[in-house]
Amino acid sequence: MDELRQIISALKPDSMMPFAFILVMIAMGLIGWATLKQSRVRESTRNRLSLKNSVGTNSHSTKPAAASKKPQVLVSRKILKQASDFYASSDPENIVRIRQKLIRAGYMEPGAVGTFFVLRVIVALVFFAAVLPVMLIFSADTQFSNQLLIAAIGGLIGYFIPNLILNHNIAKRTLEYRAGFPDFMDLMIVCADAGMSMEAAIERVSREITNQYPALSQNLTIITIELRAGRQLADALRSLSERLGLEEVRSFATLLQQSKELGTSLSDTLRVFSEEMRHKRMSLAEEKAHALPAKMTIPVTVFILPVIMLIATIPVIVQFSQ
């Protein structure tokens, strides 16, 4: 290990080669990650198209598709399954929470939990491997234990980065759900006034809002599939509220159940609930607008006020100095 440190320390710190090497490695990692993500998207698209084209064909037509799976795909799936089983046996409650967060972020694949844990470990190792050479090159005088500690802190930061990205995706989808649900309610009112049933109205609205709210449309399509499979509407709506994480959906499910028990008009019930949701959304917007002056106090004081003071005092100082 000492010989390795001497070899790395022999590099010239004033050279730009270490920076260029680190930047090239980071760029290669990002390009590989983007390529892998794009290949997964294309693979999922091809799978959906193959399933759509195979409707009405014989059952033996699925055998070549099953036989054409690449060994790399099977090995990766096995690794992800083993990782998911390992974490599930160690902390089952954490697995349930992470699975729920992944579903709210839009990752509904069966192996999403295993992929998330493997990705966290890979990112942590990449950060550790990126920080350690930098410390060995530019902090050769520091003790090796301290260098390892700083590299371990970098790996710990990399371990939590996927979780931060996941929370960002959840917040982004939550904004889309909260913005699109009142529009969904308005379209449901139109369908109810036209005499459509609740199941048919949900299916129709899910097709209408595909372009504007794709994530909400995807969840509504799942409701349609569950209803076709024989699930009750109340249970499907409760499952929708768990996937979306919105209190409005739980209230909507309770409202439909009460309307069904009391025999009230469905269109009137939906209209009142839609108005309440829009009023709630407007109240949230007003609350954010009222909190904006307090949030702008620190940036104005730190960045704008010193500039104004300089602009006001520099001419006076120049005039007295002349």
Q: Does residue 255 share a domain with residue 208?
A: yes
Stretch 75-88: mean pLDDT, rounded?
Answer: 63
pLDDT of residue 230: 84
| 114 inside domain | yes
User: Is the pLDDT confidence value at 224 over 70?
Assistant: yes
180 closest CA partner among 278, 286, 283: 278
Q: Does residue 189 share a domain with residue 140?
A: no
> Chain centroid to CA 20: how far?
31
Q: Does residue 33 share a domain with residue 145?
A: yes
CA distance 162 to 119: 7
Q: Does residue 105 share a domain with residue 157?
A: yes
Q: What tens digit of pLDDT does each residue of 122-141 get?
A: 888 888 888 888 777 777 67
| 96 inside domain | yes
| 318 inside domain | no
Interaxial angle between packed helices 266-295 and 247-262, expressed in degrees from 0 to 180 and rounded to the nearest 10: 160
Q: Does residue 81 share a domain with residue 97?
A: yes
Stretch 213-223: mean pLDDT, rounded?
Answer: 88
Listed residues 169, 185, 220: the one ending a domain: 169
Between 12-21, 25-34, 154-163, 290-299, the lowest mean confidence (pLDDT) is in: 12-21
Q: Does residue 284 share a domain with residue 200?
A: yes
pLDDT of residue 45: 58
Q: Does residue 153 share a domain with residue 112?
A: yes
Number of domains in the chain: 2
Side chain identity, residue 160: F
- Give me the chain's average pLDDT, please: 76
Q: Residue 177: in which H helix or E strand, if any? A: helix 144-193
Listed residues 115, 136, 169: the one ending a domain: 169
- The burial of 181, by beta-carbon neighbours within 10 Å (0-12 exposed, 13-18 middle, 19 or more buried), is given as buried
Q: Does residue 230 share a domain with residue 83?
A: no
Domain residues for the domain of 147 are 2-43+71-169
User: Quick one: tokens of 64?
Assistant: 């070549």
pLDDT of residue 2: 60
CA distance 139 to 133: 10
Q: Does residue 279 share a domain with residue 160?
A: no
Q: Does residue 121 share a domain with residue 26?
A: yes
